[in-house]
């Protein structure tokens, strides 16, 4: 989409916002919301816009947003297509089917109707959102009214300190979350939430699961912990490396998931939060309560969860592409941080923005970061062709 069209569409969206349901209007009229507490993802949009400035044929590799280049699986596309036949109806039944799929996949209870029916506060361990962004934003809005949010530095949301009261705790020398420092610092009189992204974006590395469990046991009785597991599907063993067991134990913990990565739903928009009902109820007032999801997205998600062969294919190809890029960079002398995600981060010898621009000239998109007195390049893992385009362009502009 070109810039003019994008701006036009943004304007249309703004007009559409006047039709928001009254509950949501009330939430946005909240004094806290009025202070413009919001998750600033404008850098993501800027990167997308810059890419859209290139003629589509000139884009050789989109490696800037950790997307899944293999796209929706054939079974998912079929389910999305089939759903159009019932897309004139509201998606209540499909939503219940999706709850069931998530409940079976992650082993959390199905939502129970509240006394008085589904309109009331439900006892749900699952909250659905338009991408995990809706739920992350809602969590930040809610907890920012109660105090300061502790984050690792850098992490996915550490650049939001103008939008939220944020307390940044530097990563350790090997770029891991400094859990000891975070535990020592956690103060219920000051902090309302601790945000841990695991695997971490942008570093790509991961905390040893038992260390994180111990941290949650120790700290969450004082300060709730939100574990953003956007990339957990790429971990060694997602089922045992994830923190859902802490949710089931009733700890003060919210686990956030997205389908944007392994399931290729970045443009379909679906994420969910797992947590005990009291915690999820707190963030509900800033969400659409799952009512913002389209039927094709819901039906597609159920099919995507069931398509184990496709998940395996994506993981295998991601591992192949990752190994290729890792071998190339290591051989060229770069110290890549070990990655448990669909991207990797390494320090570079020139200004990150300059590297970005030069790579973009070659039709290759990446993201740059600056922290620890050092410029870094974050490259998403794409198809083998995309990784070859990256290594060719990188060799040309960086050596
Ligand atoms: C760590 C992390 N959390 C959340 C998101 C948001 O994902 P989405 O809104 O597409 O579900 C992203 C997107 O890249 C991410 O990297």
Q: Which CATH code fits 74-306?
A: 3.40.640.10
The residue nearest atom 2 of ligand 1, judged by CA position, is 230
Contact 297, 270 (CB under 8 A): yes
Query: Measured between alpha carbons, how far is 305 from 293 in angstroms, rounded to an integer?
Result: 17
Distances 33 to 16, 107, 148, 193 between C-alpha atoms, Å: 19, 34, 16, 18
What's the gap in Å between 93 CA and the centre of ligand 1? 27
Q: What is the pLDDT of residue 113?
A: 66
The residue nearest atom 3 of ligand 1, judged by CA position, is 230
Q: Is the CB of 110 under 6 A from ligand 1?
A: no
Q: Is the CB of 230 under 6 A from ligand 1?
A: yes
Nearest in space to 112 (alpha carbons), one of 247, 255, 121: 121
Q: What is the pLDDT of residue 12?
A: 36
12 phi, psi to nearest 5 deg: -65, -40
What's the gap in Å between 58 CA and the centre of ligand 1? 26
Query: Measured between alpha carbons, how far is 273 from 166 in angstroms, rounded to an integer?
Result: 21
Nearest in space to 226 (alpha carbons), one of 149, 278, 305: 149
Tokens of 382: 């794409």
Query: Measured between alpha carbons, how far is 159 from 41 in angstroms, rounded to an integer?
Result: 9
For residue 251, with 0-12 CB atoms within 10 Å meaning exposed, 13-18 middle and 19 or more buried, which class applies? buried
What's the gap in Å between 395 CA and the centre of ligand 1? 30
Q: What is the pLDDT of residue 164?
A: 83
Long-range pairs, 171-180, Cβ under 8 A, ≥24:
171/200, 171/203, 171/372, 174/205, 175/203, 175/205, 175/337, 176/203, 176/205, 176/207, 177/152, 177/207, 178/152, 179/207, 179/211, 179/212, 179/215
What are the boundaries of each domain within the chain? 3-35, 43-71+308-398, 74-306
The partner residues of 256 in beta bridges, in order of sequence, read 228, 273
Pick the CATH number of 43-71+308-398 from 3.30.390.10, 3.90.1150.10, 3.30.230.10, 3.30.1390.10: 3.90.1150.10
Q: What is the pLDDT of residue 115?
A: 57
Ligand 1 pocket test target in 137, 154, 258, 345 with most atoms within 8 Å of CB: 258
Task: Tell me if residue 231 falls in helix, strand or coil.
Answer: coil
Ligand 1 pocket test target in 133, 254, 341 with most atoms within 8 Å of CB: 133
What's the gap in Å between 374 CA and the centre of ligand 1? 24
pLDDT values of the chain reduced to their tens digit, one per residue, 399 residues: 344 433 333 333 333 334 444 444 444 445 444 445 555 666 666 666 676 677 777 889 999 999 999 999 999 999 999 999 999 999 999 999 999 999 999 999 988 766 555 544 567 899 999 999 999 999 999 999 899 999 999 999 998 877 788 999 999 999 999 999 999 999 999 999 999 999 999 999 999 999 999 999 999 999 999 999 999 999 999 999 999 999 999 999 999 999 999 999 999 999 999 999 999 999 998 999 889 999 999 999 999 999 999 999 999 999 999 999 999 999 999 999 999 999 999 999 999 999 999 999 999 999 999 999 999 999 999 999 999 999 999 999 997
Contact 312, 103 (CB under 8 A): no
Q: What is the pLDDT of residue 6?
A: 37
Q: Is the CB of 321 under 6 A from ligand 1?
A: no
Q: Is the CB of 266 under 6 A from ligand 1?
A: yes
Task: Tell me if residue 169 falls in helix, strand or coil.
Answer: strand
């Amino acid at each position: 989409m070109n810039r003019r069209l994008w701006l036009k569409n943004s304007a249309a969206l703004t007009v559409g916002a006047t039709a928001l349901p009254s509950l949501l209007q009330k939430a946005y009229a909240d004094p806290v919301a009025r202070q413009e507490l919001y998750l600033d993802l404008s850098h993501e949009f800027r990167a997308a816009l810059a890419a859209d400035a290139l003629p589509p044929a000139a884009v050789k590799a989109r490696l800037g947003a950790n997307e899944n280049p293999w796209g929706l699986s054939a079974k998912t596309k079929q389910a999305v297509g089939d759903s159009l036949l019932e897309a004139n109806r509201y998606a209540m039944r499909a939503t219940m089917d999706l709850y069931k799929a998530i409940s079976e996949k992650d082993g959390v209870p199905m939502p129970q109707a509240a006394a008085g029916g589904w309109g009331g506060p439900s006892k749900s361990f699952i909250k659905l959102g338009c991408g995990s962004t809706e739920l992350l934003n809602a969590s930040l809005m809610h907890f920012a009214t109660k105090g300061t949010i502790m984050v690792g530095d850098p992490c996915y949301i550490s650049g939001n300190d103008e939008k939220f009261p944020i307390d940044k705790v530097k990563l350790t020398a090997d770029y891991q979350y400094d859990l000891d420092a975070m535990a020592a610092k956690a103060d219920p009189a000051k902090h309302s939430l601790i945000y841990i992204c695991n695997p971490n974006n942008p570093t790509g590395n991961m905390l040893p699961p038992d260390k994180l469990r111990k941290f949650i046991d120790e700290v969450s009785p004082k300060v709730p912990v939100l574990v953003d597991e956007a990339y957990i599907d790429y971990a060694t063993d997602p089922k045992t490396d994830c923190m859902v067991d802490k949710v089931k134990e009733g700890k003060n913990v919210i686990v956030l998931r997205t389908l944007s990565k392994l399931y290729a739903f970045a443009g379909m928009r679906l994420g969910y939060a797992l947590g005990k009902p009291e915690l999820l109820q707190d963030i509900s007032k800033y969400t659409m309560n799952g009512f913002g999801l389209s039927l094709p997205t819901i039906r597609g998600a159920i099919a995507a969860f069931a398509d184990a062969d496709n998940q395996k294919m994506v993981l295998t190809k991601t591992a192949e592409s990752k190994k290729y890029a890792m071998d190339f960079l290591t051989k060229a002398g770069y110290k890549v941080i070990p990655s448990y995600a669909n991207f990797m981060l390494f320090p570079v010898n020139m200004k990150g923005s300059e590297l970005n621009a030069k790579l973009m000239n070659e039709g290759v998109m990446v993201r740059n970061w600056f922290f620890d007195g050092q410029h870094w390049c974050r490259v998403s893992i794409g198809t083998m062709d995309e990784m070859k385009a990256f290594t060719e362009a990188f060799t040309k502009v960086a050596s």
